[in-house]
Amino acid sequence: MTYTHDQIAAAIDHAILKPDFTRAAVDAELDIAAQWGVFSVCVRPSDIPHAVERLAGTGVAVGTVIGFPHGTTSTATKVAEVRQALADGASELDMVLNIGWLLSGMDSEVEADIRAVVAAADGHIVKVIFETSYLDDDAIVRACRASEAAGADFVKTSTGFAGGGATVEHIRLMRANVGETVQVKASGGVRSLDTAVAMLDAGATRLGTSASATILAEARAVDEGAAATGAVDDSSY
């Protein structure tokens, strides 16, 4: 498929999650998100109020992470994080499922953990991070089923902090094992236009990346090149 620059931008959650980011570094990343018109930023919980204020009027949504990056905090702690994040102005929540529970075959506990976060989110978007680099295909399928049963809006590959990241094969597997109402987010290693397009073609509808400027500059160059040659009426990648 082909995608315009604007279509790709509308699929990007710009990640601003590095633990060593200073306030100046966070501001630089927020400005990149606004400049390129991405769908949202995903910031550290403590940065939510500042991000909401700085991005006011830009149309860029502010999301955050829950139980990040290991997923091992208690369900009660995740619920408390959700409530604080929403109070601070976050509109989307990317939670890490309890990876150890999943690998132990404790699927009902994994589902209950997700369900509690979904309930606390009170209608806000919840994306469930699997950390696919730790999982075999069977575990990924079980995570898909638990997430959908718990009412999650998205299933997501990775935190970006565990080595490995999104693969086309995993995106296809996740897409095949959730219903039409559940979307798929590719995150981890999405750093070029070619990779972004491959993930979208495989079934992802959202891309988590810190390389938004690189990806969108490539997309814009393709658009401009196509427009200059008159190859297409509506230039796209």
- The pLDDT tens digits along the chain (237 residues) read 889 999 999 999 999 999 999 999 999 999 999 999 999 999 999 999 999 999 999 999 999 999 999 999 999 999 999 999 999 999 999 999 999 999 999 999 999 999 999 999 999 999 999 999 999 999 999 999 999 999 999 999 999 999 889 999 999 999 999 999 999 999 999 999 999 999 999 999 999 999 999 999 999 999 887 777 765 444 444
Which entry of 47, 94, 113, 223 is annotated as an active-site residue?
94
Give the three-state DSSP class for 183. strand
**What are the CA-CA distances from residue 7 to residues 3, 11, 36, 137, 139 (Å)?**
6, 7, 12, 30, 32
- C-beta pairs of 52-55 under 8 Å, 24+ apart in sequence: 52/88, 52/89, 52/90, 54/27, 54/30, 55/30
233 occurs within a structural domain:
no
Which entry of 13, 113, 127, 185 is annotated as an active-site residue?
185
> Is 194 known to be catalytic?
no
Q: Which of 155, 158, 165 lies closest to 125 in space, CA to CA?
A: 155
Q: Which domain holds residue 53?
A: 5-223
CATH of the domain at 33: 3.20.20.70
Pair of tokens at residue 63? 């999301």
Among left, alpha and beta (phi > 0; psi -120 to 50; other), residue 67 is left
Q: Which residues pair with 209 in a beta bridge?
A: 14
229 occurs within a structural domain:
no
Residue 61 confidence (pLDDT): 98
Q: How far apart are CA 184 and CA 232, in angstroms?
A: 30
17 occurs within a structural domain:
yes
Residue 227 confidence (pLDDT): 75
Q: How far apart are CA 137 and CA 72, in angstroms?
A: 21
Which entry of 13, 113, 153, 156 is annotated as an active-site residue?
156
232 occurs within a structural domain:
no
Place of tokens 């160059």: 221
211 occurs within a structural domain:
yes
Give the three-state DSSP class for 43. strand
235 occurs within a structural domain:
no
**DSSP conformational letter for 132:** G
> Is 185 known to be catalytic?
yes
41 occurs within a structural domain:
yes
> Is 78 known to be catalytic?
no
Quote helix, strand, coil % in the chain, to nearest 5.
50, 15, 35
Contact of 128 with 110, CB cutoff 8 Å: no
Q: How far apart are CA 130 and CA 157, in angstroms?
A: 5
**DSSP conformational letter for 93:** E
Domain count, the chain: 1
38 occurs within a structural domain:
yes
